[in-house]
């Protein structure tokens, strides 16, 4: 089955530094990847849609200059949290879609998530 | 616009008891509906999905859900809870070809011996 790998699973950084999280589709090519943020005891919030070879589409209220998304290949999307602050601490989850078409056929495969803690 | 409402942030059951997690959705077009499970510090795993066809959908680990259009519901059930079922469960809806999911706020299932 389709597998999405996310790295690192946990990261602790100092305030003001930047952190990169990788999302890889291991056995399939993902034309579209999605980045979610999950707050404690809250649902997943879609941050952006990442399309291979083009700019990411950010959801309303998400700072594109703070959360840089790059989808340079069909198997890799990265999320970089720039100048991280404690309020950016969260659980970030990526997911990948096999391609455009019937939504029913494009079941998302999720990564295991990355817990970011900013001190 | 679409939305998902999960009734009850926490549901507690005894091992062996029926599990019922409620999900109601709002969608202007025919929806595709999903249930995902999340274990602590892990990503989401698909339990089951409804796209078209049979309204009673069977998933992994003995779970099933029934799409009821008249009630705009997609409740998740399992006849007999197991300790390993303790986790957070998310209902989600989409109606786009890009699979942009809208999630409910989740229901934490607690299973006691």
The arithmetic mean of pLDDT across residues B8-12, rounded, is 94
| Apex B98 CA angle, A57 and A52, nearest 5 | 55
The Cα–Cα gap between B37 and B109 comes to 10
What's the number of CA atoms in the CB half-sphere (13 Å) around residue A88? 26
Phi and psi, residue A112, nearest 5°: -80, -5
Best residue in B9, B98, B105 for a mutation probing chain A (most A CBs within 10 Å): B98
The Cα–Cα gap between A115 and A59 comes to 21
What's the number of CA atoms in the CB half-sphere (13 Å) around residue A42? 11
**Interface residue ranges in chain B relative to chain A, Cβ cutoff 8 Å:** 9, 32, 34, 36, 41-46, 49, 51-52, 90, 94-106
Lateral strand order in the sheet of B2-7 = B2-7, B19-27, B73-78, B64-68, B56-58
- Across the interface, of B34, B100, B105, the residue whose CB is closest to A43 is B105
Q: What is the pLDDT of residues A18-69, one digit of tens each?
A: 999 999 999 888 888 999 999 877 788 889 998 888 889 999 999 999 999 9
Cβ A113–B43 below 8 Å, yes or no?
Answer: yes
Strands (E), chain B: 2-7, 10-14, 19-27, 32-38, 44-50, 56-58, 64-68, 73-78, 87-94, 102-103, 107-112
Which pLDDT belongs to residue A40? Answer: 77
Q: What is the pLDDT of residues B23-51, one digit of tens each?
A: 999 987 888 899 999 998 788 888 998 88
């Amino acid at each position: 089955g389709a597998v999405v790998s996310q790295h690192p699973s946990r990261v602790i950084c100092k305030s003001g530094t930047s952190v990169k999280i990788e999302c890889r589709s291991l056995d399939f090519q993902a034309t579209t990847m999605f980045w979610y943020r999950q707050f404690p005891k809250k649902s997943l919030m879609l941050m952006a849609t990442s399309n291979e070879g083009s700019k990411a589409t950010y959801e309303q209220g998400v700072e594109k200059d703070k959360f840089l998304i790059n989808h340079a290949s069909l198997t890799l999307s990265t999320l970089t949290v720039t100048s991280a602050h404690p309020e950016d601490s969260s659980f970030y989850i990526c997911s990948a879609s096999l391609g455009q078409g019937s939504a029913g056929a494009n079941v998302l495969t999720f990564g295991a998530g990355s817990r970011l803690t900013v001190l | 616009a679409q939305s998902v409402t999960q009734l009850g942030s926490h549901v507690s059951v005894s091992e062996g008891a029926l599990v019922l997690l409620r999900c109601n959705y709002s969608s202007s077009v025919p929806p595709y509906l999903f249930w995902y499970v999340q274990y602590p510090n892990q990503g989401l795993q698909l339990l089951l999905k409804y796209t078209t066809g049979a309204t009673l959908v069977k998933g992994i680990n003995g779970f099933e859900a029934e799409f009821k259009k008249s009630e705009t519901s997609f409740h998740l059930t399992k006849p007999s809870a197991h300790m390993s079922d303790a986790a957070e469960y998310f209902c989600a809806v989409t109606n786009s070809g890009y699979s942009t999911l809208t999630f409910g706020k989740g229901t934490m299932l607690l299973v006691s011996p």
